[in-house]
Structure 1
Amino acid sequence: MTNDEIDTALAALEGWRLEEDALVRDIAITPDSYRWLSEAVMNEANALDHHPEIERTPEGIRFRLWTHSEGGVTAKDVELAAHIDHVIDGAARDRG
Structure 2
Amino acid sequence: MEKLSEKEISDKLQEFEGWEFHENSIQTKFEFEDFKETFSIMTRIAFEAEAQQHHPEWTNVYNTLSISLSTHDAGGVTEKDFKLAATIEKIIEVE
TM-score relative to the length of structure 2: 0.89
77-86 vs 41-50, which moves further: 41-50
Higher helix share: 1
Kindly state the Cα deviation for residue 14 of structure 1 after the two structures are TM-superposed: 1.1
82-91 vs 32-41, which moves further: 32-41
Distance change in 2, residues 1:40/1:86 (3 Å) = same
Q: Partner amino acid for 1:20?
A: E
RMSD between aligned alpha carbons? 1.2
Q: Partner amino acid for 2:14?
A: A
TM-score relative to the length of structure 1: 0.88
Structure number with higher relative contact order (C-alpha < 8 Å, ≥ 6 residues apart): 2
Partner secondary structure for residue 64 of structure 1: strand
Indicate if the aligned counterparts of 2:29 and 2:67 stay in contact, CA closer than 8 A: yes
Q: Partner amino acid for 1:50?
A: H
Query: Sequence identity of aligned pairs in percent?
Result: 31
1:49 aligns with 2:53: yes
Q: Matched residues in 2 for 1:55 and 1:25: separation?
A: 11
Q: Matched residues in 1 for 2:21 and 2:10: separation?
A: 9
Q: Partner amino acid for 2:56?
A: P
Q: Matched residues in 1 for 2:92 and 2:35: separation?
A: 15
Give structure 1 regions of 4+ aligned residues with deviation exceeding 2 angstroms. none
1:65 aligns with 2:69: yes
Q: What corresponds to 2:27 in structure 1?
A: 24
Q: What corresponds to 2:93 in structure 1?
A: 89
Kindly state the Cα deviation for residue 19 of structure 1 after the two structures are TM-superposed: 1.3
Structure 1: any 5+ residue segments left out of the alignment?
92-96
Structure 2: any 5+ residue segments left out of the alignment?
none
Aligned length in residues: 91
